[in-house]
């Protein structure tokens, strides 16, 4: 090594290149793995939400059917949608073997549905009349 | 802070650009290749986790500061002062001048720690005295003075070694 002034000696030193470090170990794979994990988490969350919505939808639609099926054997329920009018009461009386049997039949009828305007309940009418048995 | 692929690419580019000088600096601090390598890996992985370097004005000085802090913290945690490894190469010698590499490495190892740091930062880190003074929290005059002393010692040491080899 020749005797050099400061600048030349510095230039001589710079000819020696520092050793290149090992590549960063986890940059590529770790980031890819992390990105895959995030995407997977989002996909799983979306799938759970969709399944939940579908289940809720199915359960909501099944509820009225269950109720209907459960009430099939209930005569009160079947007749609740048919308000008892004078006409239907006369029809019942014509078909019934006796007045008592007709009243018994009517006892199972519900008046939960409001009567149309201008029509009166047969029970209300019959209740006011004096009928000879 | 949200990290993007662009930020990661920038940090990887900085690693390729300044990695060798940072490794040499970490070796000058820790004395061991393995610990030096770990220090710069830790520093860069922290940077990647942290995100963008867009707010940093002087990226190179910032990187040296990160590596220095990491190496010093690691040294404190391990609570040891390992002697410099005399056998592990620090440089890729030009023209296969392995004897010159060993001569330079031993001359550098013989320098006091503070002078060795300044020498490495200025010659191979290509940092100005002003940047080094910010990094080491010293005045620019002190940095320049340490550099002059270090350069003179290094030259004398290398010449003496060459002369002794030539005479033997």
- The ipTM (two decimal places) reads 0.80
Q: Let me know if residue B91 belongs to a domain.
A: no
pLDDT class of A33 with cuts at 50, 70, 90: low
| B126 or A56, greater pLDDT | B126
Residue B115's pLDDT is what? 95
B77 with B5, same domain: the answer is: yes
For residue B119, the distance in angstroms to the closest alpha carbon of chain A comes to 10
Percentage of chain A with pLDDT > 70? Answer: 65
B131 with B69, same domain: the answer is: no
B102 with B79, same domain: the answer is: no
B6 with B79, same domain: the answer is: yes
User: How many separate domains does chain B show?
Assistant: 2
| Helix A27-70 × helix B33-50 angle, to 10° | 40
Mean pLDDT over all residues of chain A?
72
Total count of residues recorded for chain A:
133
**Is pLDDT above 70 for A2?**
no
A18 vs B93: CB contact, 8 Å cut-off? no
B3 with B70, same domain: the answer is: yes
Separation CA A42–CA A46 (nearest Å)? 6
B158 vs A1: CB contact, 8 Å cut-off? yes
Q: Among the three residues B83, B117, B148, which one is the final residue of a domain in this structure? A: B83
| A12 or A111, greater pLDDT | A12
A18 vs B104: CB contact, 8 Å cut-off? no
Q: What is the CATH number of the domain that holds B150?
A: 1.10.10.10
With contacts defined as CB-CB under 8 Å, which chain B residues touch A17? 20, 91-92, 94
Tokens representing B91 are: 């440089």
B20 vs A20: CB contact, 8 Å cut-off? yes
Residue A23's pLDDT is what? 86
Separation CA B57–CA A67 (nearest Å)? 72
Most confident region among A85-89, B33-37, B90-94, B161-165 by mean pLDDT: B33-37
Query: Which residue spans within chain B are E strands per DSSP?
Result: 91-92
Q: Among the three residues B32, B48, B83, which one is the final residue of a domain in this structure? A: B83
B11 with B79, same domain: the answer is: yes
Candidate from A6, A10, A18 with C-beta closest to B24 = A18
A21 vs B19: CB contact, 8 Å cut-off? yes
Residue A87's pLDDT is what? 81
What average pLDDT does range B61-90 have in this prediction? 76
pLDDT class of B150 with cuts at 50, 70, 90: very high
Q: Which of B28-32, B68-72, B105-109, B110-114 has the lowest mean pLDDT?
A: B28-32
B130 with B78, same domain: the answer is: no
Q: Let me know if residue B4 belongs to a domain.
A: yes
CA B30 to chain centroid, in Å, comes to 10
A55-80, pLDDT tens digit by residue? Answer: 888 887 765 544 444 444 444 444 55
B110 with B131, same domain: the answer is: yes
Q: Among the three residues B48, B83, B118, which one is the final residue of a domain in this structure? A: B83
What average pLDDT does range A31-42 have in this prediction? 69
For residue B104, the distance in angstroms to the closest alpha carbon of chain A comes to 8
CA A58 to chain centroid, in Å, comes to 6
B111 with B165, same domain: the answer is: yes
Best residue in A6, A14, A19, A31 to probe B by mutation, most B CBs within 10 Å? A19
Contact B37, A25 (CB under 8 A): no
B145 with B74, same domain: the answer is: no
Residue of B nearest to A25 (CA): B41
Domain that holds residue B72: 1-83
Candidate from B20, B44, B100 with C-beta closest to A24 = B44
| B102 or A82, greater pLDDT | B102
Q: Let me know if residue B88 belongs to a domain.
A: no
B79 with B104, same domain: the answer is: no
Residue A56's pLDDT is what? 86
**Is pLDDT above 60 for A19?**
yes
Q: Let me know if residue B127 belongs to a domain.
A: yes
What average pLDDT does range A37-53 have in this prediction? 84
B78 with B5, same domain: the answer is: yes
The b-or-e profile of B22-52 (16+ CB within 10 A means b, else e) is bbbbbbbbbbbbebbbbbbbbbbbebbeeeb
Residue of B nearest to A27 (CA): B45
What average pLDDT does range B72-91 have in this prediction? 69
pTM across the whole model:
0.58
B151 vs A3: CB contact, 8 Å cut-off? no
With contacts defined as CB-CB under 8 Å, which chain B residues touch A14? 123-124
pLDDT class of B118 with cuts at 50, 70, 90: very high
């Amino acid at each position: 090594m020749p005797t050099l002034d400061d600048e030349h000696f510095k230039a001589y030193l710079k000819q020696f290149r520092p050793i290149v470090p090992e590549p960063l170990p986890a940059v590529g794979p770790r980031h890819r793995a992390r990105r895959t994990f995030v995407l997977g988490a989002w996909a799983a969350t979306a799938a759970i939400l969709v399944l939940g919505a579908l289940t809720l939808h199915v359960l909501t639609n099944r509820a009225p059917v269950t109720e209907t099926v459960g009430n099939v054997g209930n005569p009160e329920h079947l007749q609740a949608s048919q308000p008892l009018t004078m006409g239907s009461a006369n029809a019942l009386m014509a078909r019934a073997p006796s007045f008592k049997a007709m009243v018994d039949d009517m006892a199972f009828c519900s008046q939960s549905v409001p009567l149309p305007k201008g029509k009166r309940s047969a029970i209300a009418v019959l209740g006011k009349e004096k009928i000879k048995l | 802070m949200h990290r993007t692929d662009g930020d990661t690419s920038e940090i990887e580019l900085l690693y390729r650009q300044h990695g060798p000088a940072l490794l040499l600096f970490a070796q000058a601090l820790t004395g061991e290749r393995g610990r030096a390598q770990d220090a710069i890996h830790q520093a860069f992985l922290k940077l990647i986790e942290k995100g963008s370097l867009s707010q940093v004005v002087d990226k190179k000085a910032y990187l040296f500061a990160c590596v220095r802090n990491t190496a010093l913290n690691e040294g404190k945690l391990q609570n040891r002062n390992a002697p410099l490894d005399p056998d592990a190469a620090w440089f890729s010698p030009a023209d296969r001048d392995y004897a010159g590499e060993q001569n330079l490495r031993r001359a550098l190892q013989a320098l006091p720690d503070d002078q060795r740091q300044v020498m490495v930062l200025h010659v191979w880190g290509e940092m100005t005295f002003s940047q080094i003074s910010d990094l080491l929290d010293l005045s620019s005059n002190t940095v320049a003075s340490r550099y002059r002393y270090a350069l003179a010692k290094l030259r004398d040491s290398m010449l003496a070694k060459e002369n002794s080899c030539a005479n033997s």
